[in-house]
Chain A
Amino acid sequence: MKELTVEWIQVQDKELVIDEIMDRHGQEILQLAYSYVNSVAVAEDLTQEIFIKCYKNLYRYSGKSKFRTWLWRIAINHCKDFLKSWYNKNIIPTTDYFPNHISEKEDIEEAVIQHEEDHELMSAIMKLPTKYKEVIYLFYYEELLIKDIALVTKTGTNTVKTRLRRAKSLLKEILEE
């Protein structure tokens, strides 16, 4: 899938542009938001706000970075602002990761064990502080390169590497408890 170019974005009708952007990036932005807030309802609200922000700021996109990088920066900032907000700290109860129930068809012992391990890993990740959770998500789920993670989180590659290392040892600690 080719990246949206700044020329295309600026020439086309804005409504058409935002539609195309949502088609391309809606799902990943929703998932990204979820990875920060661990709640479907909040992730949906944030996604809506992110795309509105994107729409309003389209004219600022200069083509210096890839469009996806630009959009992700908006999204990540927005999620982090939400996490820091008074609203989040006081109104929204912290929603924990509740794993799906293991389907009955699969109650072969081995599958059950595998599932349980997955659940453990997922809830351990969700417990991590944001800066560690985000590098784990971006690196292992989105499979971004270290340098791209540095770009979207506005840090340096060394910071990303350190955080990844630290995140993994934190996960180990949580899982061994």
Chain B
Amino acid sequence: MDKRLKNLKKTMNREVFAQLKFTENHKKSIREKIKQETHSDEEILIAIMQLLLQKKTGYQLISLLQSRGILNFKENEGSLYVILHRLELRSLLTSSWQEDGAKFYQLNKKGRKLLKKVEEQPLSNHLSFKEILEG
């Protein structure tokens, strides 16, 4: 048995893997898929801030982001709340509890000002923007 298994590499290369090649086409379609599925952190943060011009719950926010094609938080809600928390810590948004226990978030004046700035100059290196992304 050992002897036969020692030849496994040769056997598999010849019998099985001869027609299995990772090609430039595979690479290309992976790259395209990545582009579709991922958005830069800046893009996401801008989208969150835009949506929070009106007050929303985290849950609403996730589904609205999804309809914008941002799926990052679908199975990872926690990371959205981390971002919301950072925005709150930097006094860019205010949160309020409703009577039914839902928590709403909304950009305040400072937040709206920052949003306007980054919308005019996307991907800029505003220090405060970087800080929010990097925690």
**Does A19 sit within 8 A of B, measured CB to CB?**
yes
**Does B20 sit within 8 A of A, measured CB to CB?**
yes
Known: A121-B4, A122-B11. A48 touches B30 (CB 8 A): yes
- In angstroms, Cα B8 to Cα A67, docked, is 26
Secondary structure type dominating chain A contacts: helix
Is A100's CB under 8 angstroms from B18's CB? yes
Is B9's CB under 8 angstroms from A122's CB? no
Which residues of A lie under 8 Å from residue B15 when comparing CB positions? 99-100, 118-119, 122
Is A30's CB under 8 angstroms from B19's CB? no
- Residues of A in contact (CB 8 Å), total 36
The residues in B between 20 and 56 inclusive whose CB is less than 8 angstroms from any CB of A are: 20-22, 26-27, 29-31, 33-34, 37-38
- In angstroms, Cα B7 to Cα A154, docked, is 27
Known: A43-B20, A52-B33, A122-B16. A22 touches B27 (CB 8 A): yes
Is B17's CB under 8 angstroms from A31's CB? yes
Is A171's CB under 8 angstroms from B1's CB? yes
For this complex, into which size category does the number of interface residues on chain B fall?
Answer: 20 to 34
Is A136's CB under 8 angstroms from B5's CB? yes
The residues in A between 1 and 52 inclusive whose CB is less than 8 angstroms from any CB of B are: 15, 18-19, 22-23, 26-27, 29-31, 34, 40, 43-44, 47-48, 51-52
Known: A18-B34, A168-B5. A48 touches B26 (CB 8 A): yes
Known: A27-B22, A30-B22, A31-B17. A52 touches B30 (CB 8 A): yes
CB within 8 A of A52: which of B2, B14, B21, B34? B34
**Does A86 sit within 8 A of B, measured CB to CB?**
no
Which residues of A lie under 8 Å from residue B16 when comparing CB positions? 34, 97, 122
Is A51's CB under 8 angstroms from B1's CB? no
Q: Find the residue from A22, A29, A48, A141 having the highest chain B CB count within 10 A.
A: A141
**Does B68 sit within 8 A of A, measured CB to CB?**
no
